């Protein structure tokens, strides 16, 4: 016999925990199933830990709306809970005269998303960051960094205080639409019947959806894996803000981010790979990283970059090609009562997590 539960969230990354917390705080019984030995070991542990302002995302998209909303919620939550974070700001830089129009386009687009970015000519930008080389820059004062692990610990504590439960080492084999419920079969043979299920399995969300009987495959996007490599700087960087080049296809260029201790790291780049487990950083990529970084930081010392870590962006593709927005897919789309699938929750997923949690809770 299957054990009866009210709500299940599959996946204990930052988004899954935020969704589970939102449901539990509304009085729902929530069980979080995580395949790994602990929470937050996937994409949530392999990113830049940046709190994004909301500059680049298509106007009217979920990414644009939830990033701006989630950023405000996240800063307030971190301040209230004492979670380490810093609103350090960032500069988006044009390093050649030919990039001025692209930088102006970023400024106009951001304003359409409700984000004002002051324009700085070269001298004004260098007054803020003397080691920087550029012809012009945009200042994003609302960009910051956060301790993502401390954030997830706090979300988990909220969940558990509200009566929710996290079950680790609990991989899901398949799910099936049942009468008035969704049946979940774990890989260890455990059967659960849940009134509502949120598929927040991150990189594995499309695969889990394909293993859901009763869900039309037409509603399941095809995953593609965009690996992002990071290199760390030996020694301290002479920057107090994040530095981003003008955006490029599939990513934001090899940018400089800082952790809460001031340590610099560079990346991610974009490397298309065959699967989600390709996480080794090839030291030979350092040469290309150095060349990209020296365009805006000519003073980068030779040999100062060391392989850091890699993460995988959960890119998704549908019948018409690349899907550039978050996909929050509920019964109104796929027709399976009680099921919400979260696909393509890449950047700014961390920034948007609390807003995503509220959105999904409203749907259920």
pLDDT for the residue 319: 80
The structural domains of the chain, with segments of one domain joined by +, span 3-48+149-220+322-363
pLDDT for the residue 251: 58
Contacts of 76 (CB under 8 A, 6+ apart): none
- What is the residue-wise DSSP string for 176-224? EEETTEEEEEETTS-EEEEEEEEE--GGGHHHHHHTEETS-GGG-PEEE
pLDDT for the residue 247: 81
pLDDT for the residue 254: 87
Quote the CATH superfamily of domain 3-48+149-220+322-363.
Answer: FAD/NAD(P)-binding domain (3.50.50.60)
Number of H helices, E strands in the chain: 9, 22
**Which parts of the chain register pLDDT below 70?**
1, 248-252
CA pair distance 245, 263, nearest whole angstrom:
19
Contacts of 157 (CB under 8 A, 6+ apart): none
CB atoms within 10 A of CB 139: 19
Q: Give the closest residue to 333 by CA, choosing from 195, 209, 207.
A: 209
pLDDT for the residue 318: 87
Instruction: Convert the pLDDT of each residue in 79-100 to its tens digit.
Output: 999 999 999 999 999 999 999 9
- Burial zone of 195 (CB within 10 Å; 0-12 exposed, 13-18 middle, 19+ buried): middle
Q: pTM of the entire structure?
A: 0.96
Q: Which residue has the tokens 């991989």?
A: 171
């Amino acid at each position: 016999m299957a054990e009866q539960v009210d709500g299940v969230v599959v996946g204990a990354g930052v988004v899954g925990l935020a969704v589970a917390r939102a449901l539990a705080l509304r009085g729902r019984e929530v069980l979080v199933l995580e395949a790994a030995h602990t929470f937050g070991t996937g994409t949530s542990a392999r990113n830049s830990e940046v709190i994004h302002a909301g500059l680049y995302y298509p106007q009217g998209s979920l990414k644009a709306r939830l990033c701006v909303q989630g950023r405000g919620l996240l800063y307030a939550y971190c301040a209230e809970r004492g979670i380490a974070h810093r609103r350090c700001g960032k500069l988006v830089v044009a390093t050649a005269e030919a990039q001025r129009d692209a930088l102006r386009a970023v400024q106009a687009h951001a304003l359409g998303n409700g984000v004002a970015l002051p324009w700085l000519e070269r001298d004004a930008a260098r007054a803020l960051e003397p080691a920087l080389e550029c012809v012009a820059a945009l200042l994003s004062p609302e960009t910051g960094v956060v301790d993502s692990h401390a954030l997830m610990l706090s979300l988990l504590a909220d969940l558990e205080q509200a009566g929710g439960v996290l079950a680790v080492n609990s991989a899901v084999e398949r799910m099936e639409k049942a009468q008035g419920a969704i049946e979940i079969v774990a890989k260890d043979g455990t059967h659960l019947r849940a009134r509502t299920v949120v598929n927040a399995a991150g990189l594995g969300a499309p695969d889990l959806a394909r293993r859901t009987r009763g869900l039309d495959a037409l509603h399941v996007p095809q995953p593609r894996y965009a690996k992002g490599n990071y290199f760390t700087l030996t020694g301290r960087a002479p920057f107090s803000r994040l530095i981003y080049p003008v955006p490029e296809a599939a990513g934001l260029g090899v940018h400089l981010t800082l952790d809460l201790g001031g340590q610099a790291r560079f990346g991610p780049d974009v490397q298309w790979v065959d699967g989600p487990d390709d996480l080794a950083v090839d030291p030979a990529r350092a040469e290309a990283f150095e060349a990209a970084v020296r365009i805006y930081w000519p003073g980068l010392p030779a040999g100062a970059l060391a392989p850091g870590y890699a993460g995988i962006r959960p890119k998704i593709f549908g019948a018409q090609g690349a899907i550039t927005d978050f996909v929050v897919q509920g019964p109104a789309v796929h027709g399976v009562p009680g099921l919400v699938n979260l696909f393509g929750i890449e950047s700014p997923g961390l920034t948007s997590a609390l807003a995503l949690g509220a959105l999904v809770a409203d749907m259920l």
